[in-house]
Amino acid sequence: MALIFFSSLLIAYSGAMMPGPMLAVVVTESPKQGFKAGPLVVLGHAMLELALLVALVIGFGSLLERGGASRRRTVVGGIVSSLSNPYWTIWWATIGMGLLTKAYAIGVAGLVAFYVGHILGDLTWYSAVSGIVAAGRRWITPRVYRTMLMVAAAFLLALAGWFLYSGIVFVA
């Protein structure tokens, strides 16, 4: 059980530390909501992953917690950013499914250890990111912050364009 938990925790960091849509939501929401943005995004992500885990094991769907409008928006941001990230799908189709299969062989306790370890990895990483970003808002003006987001967005768009171009060139 401990092996499943700790391997899930450590492997979760491999996904959580990948720059992607979840990190973008955490960085966008942290100046507005502070440290709690990271845990709220992970809540949305955890809800999605719990639904996936349940769907893979016994075949039925998801739950969405009620909350205030801004918190609900951030939770939904965790769901949408996870679903829109191709890395999330690839991770679950490969590493996640392998770990889930091993955990399932042990039973419900194995599934719980896997899930808790995995979500704890995401929660600790994104909580740290949101805490750092929220603390940094004292030194970063809204204008500087918007500029940083625009530069990051432009970089991601350029990177997407490069990948698209490379895919077309190498396929042709």
pTM for the model? 0.58
* Domain boundaries of the chain, sorted by first residue: 2-139, 141-172
Q: Is the pLDDT of residue 66 over 50?
A: no
- Of 41-55, 104-118, 151-165, the least confident: 151-165
Cβ neighbours of residue 108 under 8 Å, at least 6 residues apart?
A: none
Q: How far apart are CA 93 and CA 114, in angstroms?
A: 16
Quick one: what percent of the chain has pLDDT higher than 90? 10
- The predicted structure's pLDDT at residue 133: 81
* Mean pLDDT of the region 6-34: 83
Cα separation, 63 vs 47, in Å, equals 7
Environment class of residue 43 by beta-carbon count within 10 Å: exposed (0-12), middle (13-18) or buried (19+)? buried
How many residues are there in the chain?
172
Cβ burial of 37 (10 Å; 0-12, 13-18, 19+) is: buried
Most confident residue range from 1-5, 34-38, 157-161, 163-167: 34-38
Model pLDDT, residue 49: 87
pLDDT in tens, 73-87: 787 778 878 887 888
Mean per-residue pLDDT, 124-138: 85
Residue 115 predicted with pLDDT over 70? yes
Average confidence score pLDDT of the chain = 80
What whole-number distance in Å separates Cα of residue 45 and Cα of residue 28? 16
Q: What is the pLDDT of residue 59?
A: 52
